[in-house]
Amino acid sequence: MTALHHSLLPRVALPALALLAAFPLVMQAIDQPFYIVLATRILIFALAASSLNLLIGFGGMVSFGHAAFFGTGAYTVGILMVHGVESAWIAWPAAVLMSALAALLIGAISLHTRGVYFIMITLAFAQMIYYVFVSLKAYGGDDGLTLAGRSQIGFGVDLASDVVFYYVVLAIVATLLVLLGRLVNARFGRALQAIRENETRAQAIGFPAYRYKLACFVLGGAMAGLAGVLIVNQNELASPNLLHWMQSGMLMIMVILGGVGFLYGGALGALVLLLLEETLSEYTIHWQLGVGLVLLAVVLFAPNGLLSLARRRTAGG
């Protein structure tokens, strides 16, 4: 049975949050600052994948163009910085807004289609945006746009420090996951899941399906935009790769790996995939082969993602 309710699982989430809060201190103590950067990257992708999971897992919208919103957020910060806007308080909301706007336009058109057509049209839109940025020579074109530094947030907090940046990212990602949990259990989330489950029926009891799906698409796009804001600050580079369809595919793999429609599915998928990439690439440049095998195993033995294993165990015991 599919429960409509999705717990934030405080008994797991709070200890995890405590561990994450202590993580940089431990890494500094053992002099492994590199892992702080890796953990930041994982957190950012946890946010991006969670935003895609909102679309796929809760809204039933299999979008293959999610990188468009991720990249739009990143480029907005980069372009504003080129023009002298370094304040996070201006650039970050502007970037989220731009991503939301892009999602509104793309969603408004794409949501008139279904199934494979929806997958293809979202992919096509994302690739269009990709080529737009590749052709913008003023903003780096193919090579991407190198930032002069990270955004300024003032109050004596300097994002240039990887540790400070890590904590800012952690605070943002944790807040967004709580918001996501509230959203899926609120009226909106229930209506959305009803539409995912049976759209005709949902309309026949009076839910305006298109409107709710579009709202979901825009929220997911905005959330991906915020993840883009963070990744561009982390990398200090807005690369067209962030917009490429392979990035969309990567996010989709994370969601499938972690668990479509599970609140923490995107986060767990990001963690597993990026750790796999990190460990396997130390041994071979063909690390993607290993990732493929793991993905194959998950799809065969836990077709609903890794989190479905945890649910099965709790249901059994």
Q: Based on CB atoms, which residue is closest to other proteins, 17 or 215?
A: 215
Q: What's at 45, amino acid-wise?
A: F
Contacting other proteins within 166-185 (CB under 8 A): 182-183, 185
Burial pattern 188-212, b for ≥16 Cβ within 10 A else e, equals bbebbbbbbeebeebeeeebebeeb
Shortest gap between Cβ of 265 and other proteins (angstroms)? 17
Q: Based on CB atoms, which residue is closest to other proteins, 169 or 202?
A: 202
Distance (Å, rounded) from C-alpha 95 to C-alpha 79? 10
| CB neighbour list of residue 88: distance below 8 Å, 6 or more residues apart | 151, 152, 153, 159
- Reduce the DSSP state of residue 60 to 3 states and report it: coil
Is there binding between residue 218 and other proteins (CB under 8 A)?
Answer: no
Q: What's at 283, amino acid-wise?
A: Y
Nearest to 257 by CA among 235, 275, 245, 244: 275
Exactly one of 161, 198, 241, 279 binds other proteins (CB under 8 A); that residue is 198
DSSP state of 151: P
Exactly one of 162, 188, 236, 309 binds other proteins (CB under 8 A); that residue is 188
Is there binding between residue 187 and other proteins (CB under 8 A)?
Answer: yes
Shortest gap between Cβ of 211 and other proteins (angstroms)? 8
Exactly one of 24, 78, 189, 228 binds other proteins (CB under 8 A); that residue is 189
Is there binding between residue 130 and other proteins (CB under 8 A)?
Answer: no
Burial pattern 124-149, b for ≥16 Cβ within 10 A else e, equals ebbbebbeebbeeeebbeeebbebee
Exactly one of 30, 204, 300, 315 binds other proteins (CB under 8 A); that residue is 204
Contacting other proteins within 78-107 (CB under 8 A): none
Q: Is 251 within 8 Å of 48 (Cβ atoms)?
A: yes
Binding mask 1-30 for other proteins (x = CB under 8 A): xx-xx-------------------------
Residues touching other proteins, count (CB under 8 A): 28
Is there binding between residue 202 and other proteins (CB under 8 A)?
Answer: yes
Query: How crowded is residue 108: how many other Cβ atoms within 10 Å of its Cβ?
Result: 13
Q: Based on CB atoms, which residue is closest to other proteins, 185 or 288?
A: 185
Q: Which residues pair with 237 in a beta bridge?
A: 146
* Contacting residues toward other proteins, per CB under 8 A: 1-2, 4-5, 182-183, 185-191, 194, 197-198, 200-209, 212, 215
